[in-house]
Amino acid sequence: MIELNMNAVIGQLLKHYGQEEEVTEVKKYGSGHIHKTFLVDIPSQQYILQSFNRKVFPFPDRIAGNLQQVKTHLHGKNLEFNLPLPMRTTAGKLFTDHENVFYRLFPFVEGKCIDKVENPKQAYLAAQAFGGFIKACAGITTDGLEEVIEGFHDLSLRYRQFEMALKNTQIELSGEVLDMVEFYKKQVLLVRKYKHYVETLPLRVTHNDTKINNVIFSDDFSKINAVIDLDTVMAGYVFYDFGDLVRTVACTEEEGSVEWDKIDIDLDKYAALLQGFVEAMDSELSAEEKESLPFGGEMMACIMGLRFLTDYLNGNIYYPISYQDHNLHRSKNQALLLQALQTKRKSISLLLEKVQ
């Protein structure tokens, strides 16, 4: 979309939703990697408009089907936050298109979307929201849900994809690249643990992208107004959702940071995550699931590191990059985070013991 006529084009898109007012302002919103998200102002209100990445999500009907089941199940339940779903056009469709790009419109939820939590209270609230989401969805039969991205959090599959990329890559395997390759090769131990958990724990409806920027805090940070980015809601394990919280909340540096010496795990925020998640899931969380939570942190740092490194080896075809080694550096960031989690295993298991 060319900048100059952007407002006019968006105005045309909004007409499909019965909205005739002129568009007064369009701003980029949030920091997601996959879709492009904009905050759109018209005189009477604000909307979120998103250009939808069909390459990453080739089965949009599956997303809609899963979310319909969640919506039906949650109807009448008293969830403390919003789950903003795509709006329907006057013709009943979930997408509009312009120049072969698909767009979706969402109601705008007021509040703050952040990439880094400032204190344990914010960590607690985010974990409570994601734990609360899983609990509220308990009872939905996961057999009826579809995989929106096949093998999305399957660590064995991601490891095999990494091995394949390694075999076919055009990149020279030396220096920092080789260090990363060697590091992730050793994580085959985590793959074994993953297989064990998958064989023993129940599948549930999980969010599967519990990055901190997928919640909207109230302006005063006293509560969560909404859980967003619901595209990957499908069957999963509790440790996926807890794990991505650890990865993006209990870290001292964001995923894009190259300040290697500063990458560590903040145990106060980790403890707050455990508290919020376990409290929200309450009796719905089994002892075995609770025991799997620390594994989730390691597994999600590992799977993201593997995915970034695989993408680097494949020539950066999945994640948008701002410079050539961006994905390599993201994989290094996740490797250091994983290392920190592994070094702090003992302290983390003590934190888990304390949580009721």
Helix (H, G, I), strand (E, B) or coil at 40: strand
The rounded distance, in Å, linking the Cα atoms of 243 and 50 is 27
**Smallest distance from ligand GN1 to CB 110, Å:** 20
Query: Looking at the chain, which runs of residues are DSSP E strands?
Result: 25-28, 36-42, 45-52, 96-98, 101-107, 204-206, 215-217, 224-227, 234-236
Contacts to ligand GN1 from residues 248-287, by CB under 6 A: 255
Q: Which of 27, 33, 195, 262 binds ligand GN1 (CB under 6 A)?
A: 33
Q: Is residue 196 part of the contact set for ligand GN1 (CB under 6 A)?
A: no
Nearer to Mg ion, 32 or 236 (CB): 32
Asked whether position 241 contacts ligand GN1 by CB under 6 A, the answer is no
Site for ligand GN1 in 283-312 (CB under 6 A): 304
Number of residues that make up the chain: 356
* 56 makes contact with ligand GN1 (CB under 6 A): yes
Q: Say if CB 197 and CB 292 are below 8 A apart.
A: yes
13, 14, 32, 310: which one binds ligand GN1 (CB under 6 A): 32
- Percent helix, strand and coil across the chain, each to the nearest 5: 50, 15, 35
Sign of the C-alpha dihedral, residues 129, 135, 139, 140?
A: positive
State the binding partner of 33 from Mg ion, ligand GN1, none, CB within 5 to 8 A by kind.
ligand GN1
What is the smallest separation between the CB atom of 211 and Mg ion, expressed in angstroms?
6
Q: Does 48 bind ligand GN1 (CB under 6 A)?
A: no
Which region, judged by CB under 6 A, interacts with ligand GN1, from 1-9, 31-39, 81-89, 192-200?
Answer: 31-39
Nearest-approach distance from CB 70 to ligand GN1, in angstroms: 18
User: Concatenated DSSP letters for 53-113?
Assistant: -TTT-S-HHHHHHHHHHHHHHHTT---SSB---PPPPTTS-S-EEETTEEEEEEE---SB-
The torsion defined by the Cα of 193, 197, 199 and 204, in degrees rounded to 10, comes to -150
Which one, 304 or 335, has the nearer CB to ligand GN1?
304
Near ligand GN1 by CB under 6 A, which window of 32-40, 64-72, 133-141, 280-288? Answer: 32-40
Q: Which does 298 bind (CB under 5 to 8 A by kind): ligand GN1, Mg ion, none?
A: none
Question: Which residue has tokens 């919280």?
Answer: 245
Separation of alpha carbons 172 and 163, rounded Å: 15
Count interface residues toward ligand GN1 (CB under 6 A): 10
CA dihedral 344→349→351→354, nearest 10 degrees, is: -160
202's tokens: 């129940």
The residue ranges that bind Mg ion (CB under 5 A) are 32, 214, 229
Per-residue binding letters, 212-231, with ligand GN1 (x by CB under 6 A): -----------------x--
**Among 269, 268, 281, which Cα is nearest to 241's?**
281
Q: Which is nearer to ligand GN1, 335 or 351 (CB)?
A: 335
Nearer to ligand GN1, 229 or 266 (CB): 229
Minimal distance, residue 75 CB to ligand GN1, in Å? 26
Nearest-approach distance from CB 214 to ligand GN1, in angstroms:
6
Distance, in Å, from the CA atom of 32 to the CA atom of 53, rounded to the nearest integer, reads 11
Nearer to Mg ion, 227 or 348 (CB): 227
Map residue 206 onto helix, strand or coil.
Answer: strand
Count the alpha carbons within 13 Å of 270 in the hemisphere toward its beta carbon: 27
- Residue 211 engages ligand GN1 in binding (rule: CB under 6 A): yes
Residue closer to ligand GN1 by CB (options 128, 232) is: 232
> Which positions lie near ligand GN1, rule CB under 6 A?
32-34, 56, 209, 211, 229, 232, 255, 304
